[in-house]
Amino acid sequence: MKILIIENEVYLAQSIATKLGELGHTCEMCTSTRDAIGSNNYDVVLLSTNINGQDFNPLIETFKNSIVILMVSYISNDTVSKPLSAGAKDYILKPFMIEELVRKIDHYQDYEKLKKRNEAYEKYLAHTFSNTKHEQNLDEIELPLFVSSNFQKYADAFAFEYAQKKNLPIHFLSLSDSKALNEIASLPQNSIIYIIDYQALKKSDKKRFCDLIQGKKAIIASSDKIEEVAYPVIEIKSESNVFDKGEILPIEDYVKFIVLNYQDKYPDTELSKKLGISRKSLWEKRKKYDIIKKK
């Protein structure tokens, strides 16, 4: 990382730069905020608030895209509270161990990565679900809830929209994963659990599953019609069919959709013929997509 050290105690700045340099970071130093405002291309800015007569706000604004960590000799409104309110990320009290400083740097670097990744995911989901809609009043929804949909994306959109409205974290699980049932039992109560592939669950496991989700904020999706469950069930259908306006499925997704939704309606010989593949290829597709055919 490229790190700027703003410290009027030159020996201290050199000591910090040397230790961070040994860890592979590139460090630059200056002794006043005025000297520092010439550039803003830094990952981290270590700012000493012991520099008398300096206004830190313009500098913090200049480095708003960097991780600004205050280096303070004492805690006061001017040395900590005001700079943090202006946008600095954290502070460290002098004298400090370099390991503690590195821990703070790593923590905020990880935080910024996760923040950017989350923003990208939110934009992607908003784009992906832009053509989906449902008629459910989310304020009236009670969980656990089963969602039956002929198109997986509609159930996905409903679950993520509900979690966003309730401002709760969301956990995603597929019942095609053999470890899913054990994982459900260990998840926290104050979060949404979005579970797909209920149609893949063996009949012998369904009672245990329904017992596990009791009292949990769970949304369970299935591509099949849901029957004989003791929880509310809603059905969300595409207005036309799987090929919505502007929706063109990749070949692999199309094959998966057809196998999931029509394997119980046609024998394998006819289904493979309609897909233009052999029965062996159909078996291989099921194995690839973890699709369990009901017997």
User: What tens digit of pLDDT does each residue of 211-263 get?
Assistant: 999 999 999 999 888 888 999 999 987 655 555 545 566 777 788 878 877 88
| pLDDT at position 135 over 60 | yes
Enumerate long-range contacts of 245-252, CB under 8 Å, 24 or more apart: 245/131, 246/131, 247/131
* Residues 25-37, mean pLDDT to the nearest whole number: 86
Straight-line distance from the first to the last Cα atom of the chain, in angstroms, rounded to the nearest whole number: 58
Task: Give the separation between CA 184 and CA 174, rounded to whole angstroms.
Answer: 10
* CATH number for region 138-236: 3.40.50.300
Tokens 């923040």 label which residue? Answer: 115
Q: What is the CA radius of gyration of the chain?
A: 28
Structure tokens at 285: 């597709």
What separation in angstroms does the CA of 186 have from each of 49, 221, 237? 45, 20, 32
Of 287, 280, 134, 140, which is closest to residue 221 (Cα–Cα)?
A: 134
Higher pLDDT, 243 or 118: 118
> Which of 86, 91, 44, 33 shows the shortest CA–CA distance to 61?
86
Tell me the average pLDDT across 118-125: 93
Question: How would residue 39 be classed by pLDDT, with cut points 50, 70 and 90?
Answer: low
Domain edges within the chain:
2-109, 138-236, 251-289
Decide the pairing of beta strands 44-48 and 2-6: parallel
Q: 186-216, pLDDT tens digit by residue?
A: 888 889 999 999 988 888 889 999 999 999 9
Distance separating alpha carbons of residues 19 and 115, to the nearest angstrom = 28
CA distances to 86, 123, 131, 154 from 120, in Å: 26, 5, 19, 21
Check for a shared fold between 2-109 and 138-236. Answer: yes
For the chain, give the number of residues.
Answer: 295
Three-state DSSP at 46 gives strand
How do residues 94-112 score in pLDDT, each as one tens digit? 999 999 999 999 999 999 8
Residues 6 or more apart whose CB falls under 8 angstroms from that of 210 comprise 229, 230, 231
In CATH, which superfamily holds the domain spanning 2-109? Answer: Response regulator (3.40.50.2300)
User: The pTM is what?
Assistant: 0.68
Q: What is the mean pLDDT of residues 138-165?
A: 91
